Structure 1
Amino acid sequence: MRALLVVNPAATTTSARTRDVLTHALASDLKLEVATTESRGHARELARLAAESGEIELVIALGGDGTVNEIVNGLLHEGPDPDRLPRLAVVPGGSTNVFARALGLPNHAVEATGALLDALQQGSERTVGLGVASGAPGTDDAGVPPRWFTFCAGFGFDAGVVGRVEQQRERGKRSTHALYIRQVVRSFLQEQHRRGGTITLERPGAEPVEELVMSIVCNTSPWTYLGNRPVYATPAASFDTALDVLGLSRLTPAALSRYATQLLTSSPERGPHGKHAITLHDQTDFTLHSQVPLPFQMDGDHLGVRKSVSFTGVRRALRVIV
Structure 2
Amino acid sequence: MDSVDLNVLRSVLEWRRAGHAVVLYSVVQTWGSAPRPPGAMLALRDDGVVIGSVSGGCIEDDLITRLGDGRLLPDGPPVQLVTYGVTLEEAARFGLPCGGTLRLTEERVGDPAWVAELLERCQAHQIVARELDLRTGEVLLKAASRSDELAFDGVILRAIYGPRWRLLLIGAGQLSRYVAQMARLLDFEVLICDPRQEFVHGWEAQDGRFVAGMPDDAVLSIEPDERTAVVALTHDPRLDDMALLTALDSRAFYVGALGSRANSQKRRDNLALLGLSAQSIERLHGPVGLHIGSHTPAEIALSLLAEIVALKNGVELLQKKLPARVVETVK
TM-score for both structures, normalised by structure 2: 0.24
**Larger Rg computed on CA atoms:** 2
More strand by share: 1
More helix by share: 2
Which one scores higher on RCO, CA 8 angstroms, separation ≥ 6?
A: 1
TM-score for both structures, normalised by structure 1: 0.24
